[in-house]
Structure 1
Amino acid sequence: MMKKWIKLFTFVITLVLVVSACKGGVDQKNYSKQTVSEESEVADVMIEKKIKIGFSMDTLEEERWLRDRWMFLDAVEELGAGVEILEANGDEALQISQAETLINEGVDVLVVVPYNAEAAASIVKKAHSAGIKVISYDRLIKNSEIDLYISFDNERVGELQAEALTKLVPKGKYVYIGGADTDNNAHLFKKGVFNILQPLINRGDITVVYDQWTKDWLPTNAFKNMAEALNANNNDVDAIIAANDATAEEVIKALEAQGLAGKIPVAGQDAELAAAQRIVEGTQTMTVYKPIQTLTMEAAKAAVRLAKGEKIETDTKISNGKIEVPSILLSPISVDKANIDETIIADGFHSREDVYRNVE
Structure 2
Amino acid sequence: MKRLMSYLLLLLLLSGCAKETTAVPNKTEVKERIHIGFSMDTLEEERWLRDRDLFKESAERLGAKVTIMAASGDDALQIVQAEQLIQLGVDVLVVVPHNAEATAAIVAKAHDAGIKVMSYDRLIKNADLDLYVSFDNEKVGEMQAEAITKLVPKGKYVYIGGAETDNNAHLFKKGVFNVLQPLIEKGDITVVYDQWTKNWLPSNAFENMRSAIEANNREIDAVIAANDATAGSATKVLAAYGLLGEIPVAGQDAELAAVRRIVEGTQTMTVYKPINILAEAAAELAVKMARDEDVGADRKVNNGKIQVPSVLLSPIAVDQENVVETVIADGFHDYDDVFGD
Q: Counterpart of 1:279 in structure 2: which amino acid?
A: I
> CA–CA distance in 1 between the matches of 2:44 and 2:304?
29
Q: Counterpart of 1:298 in structure 2: which amino acid?
A: A
> CA–CA distance in 2 between the matches of 1:208 and 1:142?
28
TM-score normalised by length of structure 1: 0.89
Indicate the percent of aligned positions where both proteins have the same amino acid.
67
Which residue of the partner structure matches residue 222 of structure 1? 205
> CA–CA distance in 2 between the matches of 1:107 and 1:198?
45
Q: Secondary structure at the match of 1:253?
A: helix
Which residue of the partner structure matches residue 120 of structure 1? 103
> CA–CA distance in 2 between the matches of 1:92 and 1:277?
33
> CA–CA distance in 2 between the matches of 1:144 and 1:357?
47
> CA–CA distance in 1 between the matches of 2:28 and 2:197?
51
Q: Which residue of 157, 167, 175 corresponds with 1:174?
A: 157
Residue 39 in structure 1 maps to residue 24 in structure 2 = yes
**1:259: how far off?**
0.6
Q: Counterpart of 1:200 in structure 2: which amino acid?
A: L
Residue 268 in structure 1 maps to residue 251 in structure 2 = yes
Q: Counterpart of 1:139 in structure 2: which amino acid?
A: R
Residue 235 in structure 1 maps to residue 218 in structure 2 = yes
Distance 1:44 1:350, change over 3 A: farther
**1:47: how far off?**
3.3
Residue 184 in structure 1 maps to residue 163 in structure 2 = no
Asked if 2 retains the 8 angstrom alpha-carbon contact of 1:277 and 1:357, the reply is no
Listed as ranges, the matches of 1:19-30 within 5 Å are none
> CA–CA distance in 2 between the matches of 1:90 and 1:45?
42
Which residue of the partner structure matches residue 3 of structure 2? none
Q: Which residue of 180, 184, 191 corresponds with 1:208?
A: 191
**1:46: how far off?**
7.1
Which residue of the partner structure matches residue 233 of structure 2? 250
**1:311: how far off?**
2.7
> CA–CA distance in 2 between the matches of 1:333 and 1:309?
32
Residue 74 in structure 1 maps to residue 57 in structure 2 = yes
> CA–CA distance in 2 between the matches of 1:291 and 1:122?
30
Q: Cα deviation per residue 1:292-336 (whole Å; 9 max; x = unaligned)? A: 000001100100001011132322100000000000000000000
Unaligned runs of 5+ in 2: 1-12
Q: Counterpart of 1:105 in structure 2: which amino acid?
A: L
Q: Cα deviation per residue 1:45-68 (whole Å; 9 max; x = unaligned)? A: 973211000000000010000000
**1:39: how far off?**
1.7
> CA–CA distance in 1 between the matches of 2:86 and 2:24?
34
Residue 157 in structure 1 maps to residue 168 in structure 2 = no
Q: Runs of 4 or more off by more than 3 Å in structure 1?
A: 44-47
Which residue of the partner structure matches residue 333 of structure 2? 350
Which residue of the partner structure matches residue 42 of structure 2? 59
Q: Secondary structure at the match of 1:136?
A: strand
Residue 137 in structure 1 maps to residue 81 in structure 2 = no
> CA–CA distance in 1 between the matches of 2:61 and 2:103?
28
> CA–CA distance in 2 between the matches of 1:314 and 1:51?
21
Q: Which residue of 109, 128, 146 corresponds with 2:92?
A: 109
Q: Secondary structure at the match of 1:182?
A: coil
Which residue of the partner structure matches residue 262 of structure 2? 279
Asked if 2 retains the 8 angstrom alpha-carbon contact of 1:273 and 1:350, the reply is yes
Q: Which residue of 315, 321, 339 corresponds with 1:338?
A: 321
* 349-358 or 44-53: bigger deviation: 44-53
Residue 302 in structure 1 maps to residue 285 in structure 2 = yes
Unaligned runs of 5+ in 1: 12-35
Which residue of the partner structure matches residue 77 of structure 2? 94
Q: Cα deviation per residue 1:154-204 (whole Å; 9 max; x = unaligned)? A: 000000000000000000000000000000000000000000000000000
Q: Counterpart of 1:50 in structure 2: which amino acid?
A: R
> CA–CA distance in 1 between the matches of 2:317 and 2:163?
22
Aligned length: 327
Asked if 2 retains the 8 angstrom alpha-carbon contact of 1:318 and 1:326, the reply is yes
TM-score normalised by length of structure 2: 0.93
Q: Secondary structure at the match of 1:70?
A: helix
> CA–CA distance in 2 between the matches of 1:66 and 1:165?
29
> CA–CA distance in 1 between the matches of 2:258 and 2:28?
48
Distance 1:279 1:44, change over 3 A: farther
